[in-house]
Structure 1
């Protein structure tokens, strides 16, 4: 089973929420917090979900995974 990856990125003056496998954005938001909350909802509703949050300049900021991860990492 593949993981559903949802990205939150800056798109002009808005924040965009888009799944990697989608051809277009799920939604646009004025506030980053709103976009992150929407992205988390999408990721949490997938059997294996992941939200990848980017800074305003596009650089990686953080990520969260949801669901029963079949791989276990020591650490």
Structure 2
């Protein structure tokens, strides 16, 4: 699997999918959004990419970045 942002979206049949940005087919289909988010989080952590969690209406509910920050804040 290439490093690409992952999106958790609702499907027309009521299930949820984890789909890589620009992919034609979902990586995984689950019964609940929570299951899809758990799977997508693992993928984005491994890839160092971003996770976009969508609401049932398609709007983005949350984002989670697992990439390397080129400018980390100073503590």
| TM bucket normalised to smaller | 0.7 to 0.9
Equivalence map 1:1-75=2 (5 Å) = 4-12=4-12, 13-46=14-47, 48-71=48-71
For residues 71 and 29 of structure 1, the distance between their equivalents in structure 2, rounded to whole angstroms, comes to 36
Task: After TM superposition, give the deviation of residue 34 of structure 1 in Å.
Answer: 0.1
More strand per residue: 1 or 2?
A: 1
Corresponding residue pairs, total: 70
Superposed structure 1 runs of 4+ greater than 4 Å apart: none
Which consecutive residues of structure 2, in runs of 5 or more, have no partner in the other structure?
A: none
Residue by residue over 1:13-41, the C-alpha shift from the partner in whole angstroms, topping out at 9 and shown as x without a partner, is 10010010422100111011000001101
For residues 70 and 23 of structure 1, the distance between their equivalents in structure 2, rounded to whole angstroms, comes to 31
| TM norm structure 1 | 0.82
CA RMSD, aligned part only?
A: 1.7
Residue by residue over 1:30-64, the C-alpha shift from the partner in whole angstroms, topping out at 9 and shown as x without a partner, is 01100000110110011x21100000110110000
| TM norm structure 2 | 0.82
